[in-house]
Amino acid sequence: MTCGIYQIRNTDNGKVYVGHSRDIEHRWKEHIRSLKGNKHGNQHLQSAWNKDGENKFLFEKLEECFEYELKEKEQHWMDYSHCYSRKKGYNICPKADQTIFAVETKKKMSKTAKDRYKNPKNHENRYNAKLTWGIVRQIRENYKNNRGEQSLLAKKYGASQDLIWKILANCIWREKNSKSLIIPKNKTTKEQAEEIRKKYQENKQLTSGQIAKEYGITSSKVSSILLNRQWVDENYIPPTDGKKRVSILRKKEGTYSTGLTWSIINNIRKDYQGGIPPRELVEKYFLSRSNIKSIVMNKTWKDSNYRQ
């Protein structure tokens, strides 16, 4: 058992492959086995072996050393022989103790991984698979029929909520004819926008937060729809009473089409001074919390006569 550096030399053209091992003799047997079986990891060496034959290659010890010196000594012999140059050797990587796969090998590895992933049976055959195709289809069916939220489904089937989301979005356990069941967050359709406006017109006591919960979107999204900023409808008249934000189509003083006027700003500040908290002002005036805060702190729409 010899620890050190070795080389495999082609006697026909002088090209070499430099390597290191804690047991050089055993390593040589491994090389021979791989090359004869046409399974060697180094494609350049394998091609040369197949072309020139076993008789053209010699296995030679270059230097014996301690185990902790292997990397340093191997680098020395690699630089000395320039075995990483295609004209002088078969090494793929110019640095010792580092593996770089050939392009052909990478393509094979990629194809194998993709084929393994595409095969539905492999999902169930994995040693750590918690689910089966039957359970995955049950999860999707329950979600379709509104028989469970993602968090409830996660508890029921003993899976993480992230895993349930990926199944419903068809990111994992993919089925060719199946589409994602997840509606992108904060996205609405034209029909939903019309429904939201109709609901608000029928019951003006509803807040944007209540409507947002029903449709699974943010309150600012609801506000944008009610103010005709999104899914614009020429026949729709947005809320225009003094306590609500006016239409986006009207320009305010100093700023382009934000829908606020000095009278509304003054009302917001009066309400705040009267004890109404910012959270209620957000619902009342269809503004974001940051906008309300900036107004009551006199950071925007600055008024020298206003005192908090």
The CATH number that applies at residue 40 is 3.40.1440.10
Distance between CA atoms of residues 103 and 49, nearest Å: 19
Per-residue confidence of the chain (308 residues) as pLDDT tens digits?
789 999 999 998 899 999 999 999 999 999 999 999 888 888 888 999 999 888 889 999 999 999 888 889 999 999 998 898 888 898 888 887 766 566 667 778 788 777 766 665 555 555 456 778 888 888 888 887 775 577 788 888 888 888 888 888 888 888 877 777 776 656 788 888 888 888 888 887 777 778 877 777 777 888 888 888 888 887 887 775 433 443 333 333 444 334 677 888 888 888 888 888 888 888 787 788 888 888 888 888 888 888 76
The answer on 223 and 245 residing in a single domain is no
- Using the Cα atoms of residue 183, residue 169, residue 176 and residue 111 in order, give the sign of their dihedral: positive
Q: Note the Cα 292 to chain centre separation in Å.
A: 34
Q: Which domain holds residue 57?
A: 4-104
pLDDT, position 119: 63
Residue 278 lies in a domain: yes
| Its pTM surpasses 0.75 | no
What's the full length of the chain, in residues? Answer: 308
The answer on 82 and 8 residing in a single domain is yes
CATH code for the domain in which residue 254 is found:
1.10.10
Single-letter amino acid code for the residue at 301: W
pLDDT, position 127: 46
pLDDT, position 304: 80
Residue 221 and residue 188 in contact, taking contact as beta carbons nearer than 8 Å: yes
What's the number of domains the chain is made of? Answer: 4
pLDDT, position 190: 86
Residue 264 lies in a domain: yes
Tokens 């055959």 correspond to: 125
Q: What is the mean pLDDT of the chain?
A: 80
Q: Going by DSSP bridges, is the β-strand pair 57-64/16-21 parallel, antiparallel, or unpaired?
A: unpaired
Residue 179 lies in a domain: no
pLDDT, position 243: 38
The answer on 40 and 26 residing in a single domain is yes
pLDDT, position 117: 62
